[in-house]
């Protein structure tokens, strides 16, 4: 199959799965079809799929990843050359194209990904480009637990079609519409610590963090960044871990905040 044929096949398969979509019009242009496929994957419940679907989806996502490009950790420069700063990196880009041992997903407490079609949150992007297997894996975890994912814990799953090997899911504190409390700060610190510990336990030597609890969860960007940098530096120093840690940001404002905070410690 060509990439165009794969995309059309996947859209047809997903539309056929939902009788209510029988009359949905498929865009003729490539970008419109990409967005429709993403939306259909976003709203799909964690139900079993055929081996044929997975084979076509995985080939499609592999080609999309090749088109978007992969960034390896060795191509980045650490923020400093001494102590833990030699293990810290700042990178502005799409975390779903970063080749590290594990990436962090800012999840919700249902841990099934974002069901809003095409939503521009990290949870949506990670589930989109990992493939439907990630939602299925998360659903299995949640079914075993029988309860929502607690705030500030960390759960590790395979990364499937992402260039990372694993995804570490964590639920940050929700502070939308108010100032973060001391408890919110403590919970956010625990998110970073839990993710580092979970990645270490999984044998990872590199981990990329997104900006946990910012975005729709409403934690102010600069305050959240201060917690992130402080907690990661503390954990690395106290544990003596050789873990290399990437702070991944997507916008220029976050990049400026982190760049200032990551000035090498004196």
- 56-87: pLDDT as tens digits: 999 999 999 999 999 999 999 999 989 999 99
**Whether residue 102 is found in the same domain as residue 35:** no
Token pair of 47 as six digits: 């139900």
How many residues appear in the chain?
266
CATH of the domain at 162: 3.40.220.10
Q: Position of tokens 């709203």?
A: 43
- For residues 266 and 13, the model is more confident at 13
At residue 20, the pLDDT reads 92
Domain boundary among 38, 68, 98: 68
pLDDT at 176: 80
64 and 76 in a single domain? The answer is: no
Whether 25 and 61 map to the same domain: the answer is yes
Look at residues 192, 183, 176 and name the one whose alpha carbon lies nearest to residue 225. 192
95 and 169 assigned to the same domain: yes
User: What's the pLDDT at 266?
Assistant: 56
* Average pLDDT of the residues in 22-39: 95
Does residue 266 sit within a domain? no
Same domain, 54 and 97: no
Number of domains, the chain: 2
Average pLDDT over residues 162-173: 98
Q: Report residue 265's pLDDT band, with 50, 70 and 90 as the boundaries.
A: low
DSSP strands (E only) in the chain: 71-72, 88-92, 98-99, 102-106, 155-158, 166-170, 206-209, 244-249
Q: Assess whether 216 and 133 both reside in one domain.
A: yes
The answer to whether residues 51 and 92 belong to one domain is no
pLDDT tens-place string over residues 111-141: 999 999 999 999 999 999 999 999 999 999 9
């Amino acid at each position: 199959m060509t990439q165009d044929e794969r995309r059309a096949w996947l859209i047809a398969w997903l539309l056929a799965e939902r009788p209510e979509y029988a009359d949905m019009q498929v865009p003729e242009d490539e970008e419109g079809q990409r967005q429709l496929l993403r939306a259909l994957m976003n709203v799909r419940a964690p139900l079993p799929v055929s081996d044929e679907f997975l084979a076509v989806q995985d080939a499609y996502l592999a080609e999309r990843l090749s088109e978007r490009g992969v960034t390896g950790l060795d191509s980045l420069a650490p923020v400093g050359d001494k102590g833990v700063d030699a293990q810290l990196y700042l990178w502005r880009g799409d975390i779903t194209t970063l080749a590290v041992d594990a990436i962090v997903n800012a999840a919700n407490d249902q841990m099934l990904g974002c069901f809003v079609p095409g939503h521009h949150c990290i949870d949506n992007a990670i589930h989109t480009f990992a493939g439907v297997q990630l939602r299925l894996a998360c659903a299995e975890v949640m079914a075993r637990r029988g309860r929502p994912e607690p705030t500030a814990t960390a759960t590790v799953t395979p990364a499937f079609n992402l260039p990372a090997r694993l995804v570490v899911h964590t639920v940050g504190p929700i502070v939308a519409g108010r100032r973060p409390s001391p408890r919110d700060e403590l919970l956010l610190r625990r998110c970073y610590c839990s993710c580092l510990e979970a990645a270490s336990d999984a044998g990872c030597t590199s981990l990329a963090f997104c900006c946990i609890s910012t975005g729709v969860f409403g934690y102010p960007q600069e305050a959240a960044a201060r917690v992130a940098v402080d907690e990661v530096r503390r954990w690395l120093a106290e544990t003596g871990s050789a873990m290399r840690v990437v702070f991944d940001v997507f916008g220029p404002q976050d990049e400026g905040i982190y760049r200032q905070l990551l000035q090498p410690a004196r």
